[in-house]
């Protein structure tokens, strides 16, 4: 089990919390680029790491992410007018640029130019730098002097025709999603009927290897022929998983706050465009992606309607859960544990060995960050990795067989 104190350290992500400050050292996805597609298009609300923000694209096409509250009277800038290279508060007309500078104060014509300049300085609002990679807007919320380069994340460096991406709100803490993503044993049960045949063999070997990008989780299934079927799944700090699937896939568990997560799910083909048939399973919502209500980030199959569970299908033996799609099945079970799971009440089994090791590793990273030590994943080149699956002799340690299998040469960014 995990103590209540350690559970708090790992799950809380607001400003000033250990995990929140650690996550602010990395680039975080804020939205899809198409959500603010055109200059001067309507702004959108963004909530990240317990902070309420507003994202907009200005007249020149620059992207800004600023505090939702106008620093004058704290009115919401979501209702603002996006015009002439700034977001103008509709309450009193103050305008802010993408860097959070107050550039116009039309509500005080009675004061002199010098006083206006001082007011503008006082009203500078919180703003976070943004860049666009892989048709996603990313932001950095940490100390400006420590801002890293954007990592060589493979799925962000390929053309759109080689990628299928969705997102939805998962009603639980980010750590619950990550733990679910690296819990290999559940594939045999929760996803029975949807996962491929090899997953029906219950995993019995678990390795977690720290790396320069985060860690590798190795899960071994004994094939009873002298070999082990290994899945080597990578976690790229702090919340990226590259999935050893066909086609390749990825998850990003971006914390909205302590109790909600924006889960980005991506299928990608590194070397060529998808064929017409390849994304069919995903677009029918049978894979890792969830079907959302139109124009929203809310899944159609959700906690409020019991994920539209079909008990007849469950009883038929064709599906272990009676729920449609891997993504829905994962969310249903993870959300059922509550917004923040009480890990002090767990009774862990041998099959949870990887989960235990992941928690210990994350706690150590928090200690290292507090001590000012170097963090994994801040060198862009360290992200040039890919999860994989393979067979290897039973008597050869996992750490030896996986070394040359996960590193890849990342393609040049798409033009």
Instruction: Give the pLDDT confidence of 69-93 residue by residue, as tens digits.
Output: 999 999 999 999 999 999 999 999 9
What is the SS3 assignment for 391? strand
Q: Give residue-wise pLDDT tens across range 221-276.
A: 999 999 999 999 999 999 999 998 888 999 999 999 999 999 999 999 999 999 98
Count CB-CB contacts under 10 A for residue 57.
25
Residue 178: what pLDDT? 96
412: pLDDT strictly greater than 70? no
- Determine the pLDDT at residue 413: 46
The pLDDT tens digits for 27-42 are: 999 999 999 999 999 9
Handedness of CA 49, 53, 54, 60 (dihedral sign): negative
Whole-structure pTM value? 0.94
> What pLDDT is recorded for position 415?
41
pLDDT of amino acid 143: 97
Q: Is the pLDDT of residue 414 over 50?
A: no
For the stretch 175-192, pLDDT in tens is 999 999 998 888 888 888
Contacts of 194 (CB under 8 A, 6+ apart): 286, 319, 325, 326, 329
Cα Rg, the chain, nearest whole Å: 23
Residue 16 pLDDT > 80:
yes
Q: Write out the two tokens for 18.
A: 């250990």
Q: Taking 50 as the threshold, does the pLDDT of residue 355 lie above it? A: yes
Task: Determine the Cα angle at 204 with ends 199 and 207, to 5°.
Answer: 100
Which token pair is 260?
């909600």
Give the model's pLDDT for residue 201.
84
How large a percentage of the chain has pLDDT more than 90?
A: 86
Dihedral sign computed on CA atoms, order 174, 29, 383, 393: positive
Residue 165, CA distances (Å) to 143, 147, 168, 266, 308 in order: 30, 26, 11, 4, 23
> What is the number of other CB atoms lying within 10 angstroms of the CB of residue 344?
12
DSSP-assigned states of every residue in 191-253: TTTTS-GGGGSPP-EEEEEE-SSEEEEEEEEE-SSSEEEEEEEEEETTTEEEE--SSEEEEEE
Is residue 53 within 8 Å of residue 44, measured between CB atoms?
A: no
Give the per-residue pLDDT at 246.
Answer: 86
Q: Quick: pLDDT tens for 297-346.
A: 999 999 999 999 999 999 998 999 999 999 999 999 999 999 999 999 99
Contacts of 256 (CB under 8 A, 6+ apart): 47, 48, 169, 262
pLDDT of residue 409: 63
């Amino acid at each position: 089990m995990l103590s209540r104190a350690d559970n708090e350290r790992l799950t809380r992500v607001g400003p000033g919390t250990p995990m929140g400050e650690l996550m602010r050292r990395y680039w975080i996805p804020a939205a899809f680029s198409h959500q603010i597609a055109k200059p001067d298009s309507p702004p959108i609300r963004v909530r990240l790491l317990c902070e309420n923000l507003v994202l907009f694209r200005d007249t020149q096409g620059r992207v800004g992410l600023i505090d939702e509250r106008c620093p004058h009277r704290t009115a919401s800038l979501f209702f603002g007018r996006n015009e002439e290279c700034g977001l103008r508060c509709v309450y009193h007309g103050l305008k802010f640029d993408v860097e959070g500078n107050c550039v116009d104060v039309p509500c005080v014509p009675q004061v002199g130019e010098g006083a206006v300049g001082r007011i503008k300085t006082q009203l500078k609002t919180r703003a976070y730098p943004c860049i666009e990679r892989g048709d996603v807007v990313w932001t950095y919320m940490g100390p400006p002097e420590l801002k890293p380069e954007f990592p060589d994340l493979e799925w962000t460096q390929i053309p759109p025709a080689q990628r299928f991406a969705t997102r939805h709100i998962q009603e639980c803490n980010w750590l619950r999603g990550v733990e679910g993503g690296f819990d290999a044993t559940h594939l045999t049960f929760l996803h029975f009927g949807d996962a491929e045949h090899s997953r029906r063999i219950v995993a019995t070997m678990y390795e977690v290897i720290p790396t320069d990008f985060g860690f590798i989780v190795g899960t071994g299934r004994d094939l009873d022929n002298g070999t082990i079927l290994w899945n080597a799944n990578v976690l790229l700090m702090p919340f990226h998983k590259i999935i050893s699937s066909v086609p390749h896939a990825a998850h990003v568990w971006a914390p909205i706050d302590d109790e909600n997560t924006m889960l980005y799910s991506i299928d990608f083909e590194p070397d060529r465009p998808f064929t017409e048939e390849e994304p069919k399973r995903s677009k029918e919502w049978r894979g890792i992606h969830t079907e959302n209500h139109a124009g929203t980030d809310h899944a159609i199959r959700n906690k409020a309607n019991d994920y539209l569970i079909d008990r007849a299908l469950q009883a038929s033996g064709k599906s272990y859960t009676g729920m449609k799609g891997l993504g829905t099945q994962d969310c249903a079970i993870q959300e059922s544990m509550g917004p923040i799971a009480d890990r002090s009440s767990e009774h862990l089994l041998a099959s949870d060995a990887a989960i235990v090791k992941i928690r210990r590793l994350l706690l150590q990273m928090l200690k290292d960050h507090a001590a000012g030590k170097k963090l994994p994943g801040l060198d862009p080149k360290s992200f040039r990795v890919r999860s994989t699956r393979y067979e290897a002799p039973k008597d050869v340690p996992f750490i030896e067989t996986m070394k040359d299998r996960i590193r890849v040469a990342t393609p040049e960014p798409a033009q």
